[in-house]
Structure formats: structure tokens, C-alpha cells
Amino acid sequence: KQEVTQIPAALSVPEGENLVLNCSFTDSAIYNLQWFRQDPGKGLTSLLLIQSSQREQTSGRLNASLDKSSGRSTLYIAASQPGDSATYLCAVPTPTGNQFYFGTGTSLTVIP
Amino acid sequence: EPEVTQTPSHQVTQMGQEVILRCVPISNHLYFYWYRQILGQKVEFLVSFYNNEISEKSEIFDDQFSVERPDGSNFTLKIRSTKLEDSAMYFCASSELPGSPLHFGNGTRLTVT
């Protein structure tokens, strides 16, 4: 069974800093990986979907990379802002795509 | 932008009671899902649904759970006899295709007393 791990569990940075969130998975036979953001008491918002054929995907200040062979993905956030404070989750699909395995998330706090 | 809507936002029920959680997926999406998140724990898959039938379910999704698409817009999750351990945030999600971006609703917080 796929295991998805995210390190660190919590991160606190001053505003303006660049930061990297890590996601690792045990089964490299994935065809994509998604990064989500979750605000307290809210649902999950899809940030980026990176296909297995891609190495990177960018959206604004966010950049996700994927290294299938090593079972890792990173989410890079440039010039962090207090509004970026949230929990960030990564998820990988099963081969059928019918379900996703989620990591435990990284709780990010950006201090003004 | 189209979104997934869930009602109610919060449901309190007594142990042993039946609850129905409701979801309206994005209109052109064909795949529907229920996930749950117990406080402080991972988001866990419950069930996926396509073409009016369950396509996959987890070991959590036992005989106490059922899903239905009663009409062209709603997608429901029923828990027949709630237990204390069913207390969690329940999320509905939809996607155009398997593995394509998942769109989540804001969730229903279920509290079983």
C-alpha cells in the first residue's frame, strides 16, 4: 500500500522568505501527484497537479517538482506571505485513479 | 468558478442515528468521491463513484455506509447507525477523469454524541 509522508510537520517562517515543503511516497508507479492547500475548517484547494512525465509545474509563486525514481516531490513557495499560512498536503493516485493517498501535511505559518 | 457544495456544514447526531450528508459535484464532472478527516489525522479515502456505481471503496466503507446519486445533481453519503468514531470532517470531491485534479467541497463536520 502506498505510504505518503510529508516533512516537516510544521514550519514557521518570516514573511518574504522562500521555502520548500517535502513529500515522499513509497511506490514510484504513479502517474501524477497533486499538491493541495487546506485552510482551518475548510476543504482542500488544488494548487498544482504534476504529471509523471513532467519534472516541474509552476503556478505563480509556487513551483512543484517530481522525481519519481526517488519517490519525492517538493513544493517551492517564493517570497512567502502571511496569506500563505495554511496546511499543505500532497496526494498520489492509485493506478486506477479512483482514489488518492494523502500525506499528513505540513502546517505553514508565515509571520508578518 | 464552479465549485463542489456540501450541506450541512455541521451535523450533530446521537449514536445509533442515521445521517445523510449531501454534495453537489461540479456539473460536468463524472467521478465523485467521499473522503474523511478525523481531527489531527490524514485525509482518508472512503469511496469513489462513477456511472451510478461504486468503482472503489476502502476498508472504512463498511455496510454502515452507502452512497447514492438520487438525481442528476446530488451525491449523498448515508451512515446508517452512527458510532462515536464516525465523528470527523467528511469531504466530497469530484473530477472530470480518474486521476485528474480533484475539486473538494468545504466539508461537513459530523459530531456523534
pLDDT at A29: 87
pLDDT 10s digits, A19-44: 999 999 999 888 899 999 999 888 89
pLDDT at A111: 97
Mean pLDDT value of segment A90-112: 92
pLDDT at B85: 96
Mean pLDDT value of segment A54-74: 94
Which residues in chain B touch residue A5, judged by CB atoms under 8 angstroms apart?
none
CB contact under 8 A, A43 and B44: no
Residue-wise burial string across A44-79, b where 16 or more C-beta atoms lie within 10 A, e elsewhere: bebbbbbeeeeeebeeeebbbbbebeebbbbbebee
pLDDT at B5: 96
Residue A77 Rama label (left phi>0; alpha psi -120 to 50; beta) = beta
Residue A96 binned pLDDT confidence (cut-offs 50, 70, 90): confident
DSSP designation for A41: T
**From B45, B55, B91, residue closest to A44, measured CB to CB:** B91
pLDDT at A87: 97
Residue B109, judged by CB atoms within 10 A of its CB (0-12, 13-18, 19+), counts as middle
Confidence check: pLDDT of B70 > 90:
no
Residue A1 binned pLDDT confidence (cut-offs 50, 70, 90): confident
CA distance B45 to B37: 9
Which residues in chain B touch residue A42, judged by CB atoms under 8 angstroms apart?
106-107
Give me the residue label for grid cell 463542489. B4
Confidence check: pLDDT of B1 > 80:
no
Q: Determine contact: B91 vs chain A, CB below 8 A.
A: yes
Mean pLDDT value of segment B51-80: 93
Residue B33 binned pLDDT confidence (cut-offs 50, 70, 90): very high
Residue A95 binned pLDDT confidence (cut-offs 50, 70, 90): confident
pLDDT at B10: 97
Which residues in chain A touch residue B100, judged by CB atoms under 8 angstroms apart?
49, 97
**From B97, B99, B101, residue closest to A46, measured CB to CB:** B101
Residue A12 binned pLDDT confidence (cut-offs 50, 70, 90): very high
Mean pLDDT value of segment B39-68: 94
Residue B40 binned pLDDT confidence (cut-offs 50, 70, 90): confident
- Looking at chain B, which residue has its C-alpha nearest residue A33? B99
pLDDT 10s digits, B82-113: 999 999 999 999 999 877 889 999 999 999 99
pLDDT at B113: 97
